[in-house]
Amino acid sequence: MIIEQPTTTVARVFPDGFLWGAATASYQIEGAVTEDGRTASIWDTFSHTPGRVVGGDTGDVACDHYHRYADDVAMMSKLGLSAYRFSIAWPRVQPGGRGPANQAGLDFYRRLVDELLDHDIQPWVTLYHWDLPQELEDAGGWPVRDTAYRFAEYASIVHAALGDKVHHWITLNEPWCSAFLGYGNGHHAPGRTDGADALAATHHLLLGHGLATQAIKAADPSAQVGITLNLHSLAAHSDSPADLDALRRIDGVGNRVFLDPLFKAEYPADVAADVAHLTDLGFIHAGDLETIATPADFMGVNYYTRSIVAAPVPGSGNHDGTWPGSEDTTFLKRGLPVTQMDWEIDAAGLTDLLNRITRDYGAIPLYITENGAAYPDEIGADGTVSDPARIDYYDQHLRACLDSIGAGVPLRGYFAWSLMDNFEWAWGYEKRFGLVHVDYQTQVRTPKNSALWYSNVIRDNAV
Ligand code: FCB
């Protein structure tokens, strides 16, 4: 069983040196999708395909951060952030995903990094937050082995351009989403639906992570390199054998299929058995697992909610490719308060998850690289944005972090998702996750009350 009770520590102050940041991703904020040599990514293609994104929204303009980055960094500085996690758009710096770098694209990120450093904000670079060059998808995408090598080459290009100033590198953001939403159920770009492809994509994403880690470390052994996973905090609906088996399966293909290769250089045997009718795992070559398990310096954890897993109900309608091999598994709601995403709020699920990682995989330094909540925020008559529910969400989850720290988890920092409202993937602009409100007509930024609250948390190093 993976479930633990939250500890009861009453600590309210964070350890000295705890890192405070906020996060974004390139396609969600940059816009300027055809400027300075950028070519299309799978998300450009996907968002321009009718029916894929709510309201037909695209990232064409988004928050126009490409042009407004200096003002945005000034805003971060006012909030008191010590770190900013952002991602690089692969098709901006290596159009088409192969061949030479595009200097104009690299120059944009160099300007951004300089601006951050001028404001004493540490840049944390995510190399892949889902914008695969469309040409690489046309050549087969992540289910194809070559994509892992292309990714490592691209990582080297970015590191060569920014490595003198950037010391924290996240290879991949949430490879579970890239594989299982991108190639399994098709809710994300590129929108393909094949369980075996999703499993091959999983392996090639992990291989790409290992190869990129080795490339960056070879160029600079002092670089800090890690991966960000959206691990699933899970609980079984009951102790019945059927519910516990469902929990084992979802934990397998949602969590252990990433954690075991990364930290133990092996794939879980039970997952291999669960998916045996879909694939013989022939895409795993000799030496791959050693590459994937190249020691990382830290791991990023993204957390939003906990899921309650129950026995499969054949024909329940869940058979959509999200969980290859365990398609009919049921997920239950408990009637807890939800955010605008309809995700139940369960801060103890974060404590349980962090404690479990440390217990089962050892004391690798952890960072929360995303955590936050969407609400339908509006600017009030007085010009402010009142978002008490978001403040409450952050407060509860930061206390959950303190509970884990009190239990001995080496949690070193926290990045709120997100710095500002942005393009929430298949949900378009309707879901607002920002600490800062964005008016998409005028591009005016208005810090929400939660941003002011978060500034105080940072200043006090405490909740
Ligand atoms: C995560 C993504 C991030 C954002 C949040 C709400 O899965 O990494 O880009 O969309 O969800």
Chain segment 167-177, per-residue pLDDT in tens: 999 999 999 99
Q: Is 131 in the pocket of ligand 1 (CB under 6 A)?
A: no
Query: Looking at residues 348-355, what average pLDDT do you find?
Result: 98
Is the previous residue joined to 312 through a cis bond, with omega within 30 degrees of 0? no
- Give the separation between CA 378 and CA 283, rounded to whole angstroms: 49
Indicate the top mutation candidate among 63, 370, 427 to test ligand 1's pocket, ranked by most ligand atoms within 8 A of CB: 370
Domain-embedded: residue 6: no
> Does 142 count as an annotated binding residue?
no
pLDDT number for residue 2: 37
Task: Provide the number of structural domains found in the chain.
Answer: 1
Answer whether residue 442 shows pLDDT above 90.
yes
- Give the separation between CA 181 and CA 189, rounded to whole angstroms: 8
Q: Where are the alpha helices (DSSP H) in 81-194?
A: 90-93, 103-118, 134-138, 146-162, 175-176
**CATH number of the domain where residue 266 is located:** 3.20.20.80
Domain-embedded: residue 13: no
Cα distances (angstroms) measured from residue 160 to each of 96, 208, 375: 19, 17, 40
Q: Which two tokens stand for residue 303?
A: 């957390």
Of the candidates 30, 137, 174, 344, the residue annotated as catalytic is 174
Q: Is 174 in the pocket of ligand 1 (CB under 6 A)?
A: yes
pLDDT number for residue 3: 32
Q: Which domain holds residue 135?
A: 19-460
Domain-embedded: residue 345: yes
Q: Please name every residue paired with 445 in a beta bridge, in sequence order, or none if there are none.
A: 438
Look at residue 388 and give its three-state secondary structure. helix
Rg over alpha carbons for the chain, rounded to the nearest Å, is: 21
Answer whether residue 273 shows pLDDT above 70.
yes
Summarised one tens digit per residue, pLDDT across range 324-341 is 999 889 999 999 999 999
Domain-embedded: residue 8: no
> Does 28 count as an annotated binding residue?
yes
Domain-embedded: residue 438: yes
pLDDT number for residue 149: 99
> Does 43 count as an annotated binding residue?
no
Query: Looking at residues 394-402, what average pLDDT do you find?
Result: 98
Pairing of strands 224-229, 298-302: parallel
How close is the Cα of 375 to the center of ligand 1, in Å?
14
Instruction: For residue 438, give every residue at least 6 positions away whose Cβ sits within 8 Å of its Cβ, in sequence order, or none.
Output: 63, 420, 421, 422, 444, 445
Domain-embedded: residue 4: no
Domain-embedded: residue 87: yes
- Give the separation between CA 34 and CA 59, rounded to whole angstroms: 11
Domain-embedded: residue 210: yes
Contact call for residues 424 and 374 (beta carbons, < 8 A): yes
- Give the separation between CA 21 and CA 455, rounded to whole angstroms: 10
